[in-house]
Amino acid sequence: MHAPMPKIAPADLDSLFARADKLLDQYPKSFAKAKALLQEVLTAQPDHLEALHALNWAYERDRDHAPGEWQSRLQEPQRAVRGRILELTKKVKADGGDTVAHRARALALAQQAENILRTDPTPARLKQAEELLAESQSLDADRPEQRRAERGVMAWKAIHRARKGKPDAYQVLLDWVAENPRPSPFHPDDHASAFRGLEGAFADEGFLEWLRARKPRAAKGQRAKDLVQGMLHVGDWDVSAELKGPVTTPCRVGRLLALRALGANLDFKVGGKSLLERAKKLGDKALVRELEALSGEKPDAKGKAPTTKKSKAAK
C-alpha cells in the first residue's frame, strides 16, 4: 500500500496558490508551471474556489492560443472544472458584490451559455443560454467571454426566425459580417471582428443555402482589401504550427460564403497558393468541395454542386 500523502498546511496552500497566480501573468513562459501548481492546490483542497477559477481562466487562455491542443486534450478537464465552480457558487446572488465567487460564477455561466450555442440549440436550449448569459452579466457585467455568448444568441435567434418562414432574418448575420469584414478567431473577444460564438450558427445548413443563393455584391477599395483579409482567416485558421492543431471548425464554409456574398474575390494567392490549395492543406473537405463547386472545377462527393440545392427558407 502507498502511504497517504502528507496534508499541506493552510499557510503553505496559500503560498502555493500565490505562486501559481503570479506565474499566470507570465504567458506563455510560465503557464505550464502555473497550472501544475494549481493542480497541486486542488489535489490538497478540491473545492479551493480561487484555484478552480484560476485554472478555468488558464484553460480559456489555452483555448485562445493553442486551440488544437485545447480541443483534443483540455476541453473535458475544463468542463469538469466549470461544473464544479457552478456547483460551489449556486447560492451566489447578484447583490453588487465583487468576490471571487461572483467572478468565478460569471465566467463559468458565460462559458456554459456559449457551449450550448456551439451546436444547433432547440428553442428551449436557446432560451436557457440567454438565461445563463443574463445571470453572468448580473454578476460581472464586463467579462469579454460574455461577448461570445451574445454573438451566438443573436445569430441563433435570427436562424430560428428564418426557420419560422422569415428567411430575410438571415440578413442579420450577413450584416454582421458586412460591419466586421475581417471576422477572425485571432482577435480578443471584445474586438469588433472577434468571431467566436458564431461557429455553430455559421455552419447551419439553411443559412448556407441562403448564402449560396445571394448574388455577390461589388466591393472596391478598402472594403475589398478587408474582405480578402477575412478570406485569409478562412483559409489559414489552423495552418500555423503555433496553434497546435489541427483545429476542427464547422464554420469555414459559412464564413467563405458570407464574404463571397459581400464581394470578396476568391481568385487570390498567398505564398503562391490559391484558396483551394490552402483548403486542401487544412484538410477541410467541406471547404474544398465548396470552393470546387464555386469554381466549377468538379462536383461534390454526391455528384452535385451545392449551389443547385435550395431549401424552402432559401426560396
pLDDT single digits (tens) 55-84: 999 999 888 888 888 888 999 999 999 999
Neighbour-count burial of 121, counting CB atoms closer than 10 A to its CB (0-12 exposed, 13-18 middle, 19+ buried): buried
Q: What is the pLDDT at residue 69?
A: 85
In percent, the amount of the chain with pLDDT more than 90 equals 62
Q: What confidence tier does 142 reach under pLDDT thresholds 50, 70, 90?
A: confident
Q: What is the pLDDT of residues 40-61, one digit of tens each?
A: 999 999 999 999 999 999 999 8
Which residue is listed with cell 473535458? 76
Across the chain, what does the average pLDDT equal? Answer: 87
Cα-only R_g, the chain: 22
As a whole number of angstroms, the distance between CA 34 and CA 55 comes to 9
Per-residue pLDDT at 157 exceeds 90:
yes
314 or 132, greater pLDDT: 132
Q: What integer is the mean pLDDT of 186-212?
A: 90
Q: What is the pLDDT at residue 193?
A: 83
Q: How far out from the chain centre does Cα 156 lie?
A: 14
Q: What is the pLDDT at residue 89?
A: 98
Residues making up the chain, counted from first to last: 315
193-229 exposure pattern, b = at least 16 Cβ within 10 A, e = fewer? bbbbbbbbbbbbebbbbbbbbbeeeebeeebeebbbe
As a whole number of angstroms, the distance between CA 293 and CA 262 comes to 18
How many other CB atoms sit within 10 Å of the CB of residue 42?
A: 18
Residue 40's nearest CA partner among 16, 4, 58, 61 is: 16
List, in sequence order, every residue forming a beta bridge with 212; answer none if it has no partner. none
Residue 150's nearest CA partner among 133, 171, 166 is: 133
Q: What is the pLDDT at residue 297?
A: 56
Q: What is the pLDDT of residues 5-14, one digit of tens each?
A: 456 767 678 8
As a whole number of angstroms, the distance between CA 155 and CA 199 comes to 10
Q: What is the pLDDT at residue 246?
A: 66
Per-residue pLDDT at 315 exceeds 90:
no
Q: What is the pLDDT of residues 236-271, one digit of tens each?
A: 765 555 566 667 778 999 999 999 999 998 888 877
Q: What is the pTM of this model?
A: 0.86
Q: What is the pLDDT at residue 213?
A: 96
Q: What confidence tier does 86 reach under pLDDT thresholds 50, 70, 90?
A: very high
As a whole number of angstroms, the distance between CA 54 and CA 17 comes to 9
Q: Are 126 and 204 in contact (CB under 8 A)?
A: no
List, in sequence order, every residue forming a beta bridge with 194; answer none if it has no partner. 184
Q: What confidence tier does 36 reach under pLDDT thresholds 50, 70, 90?
A: very high
Q: What confidence tier does 311 reach under pLDDT thresholds 50, 70, 90?
A: very low
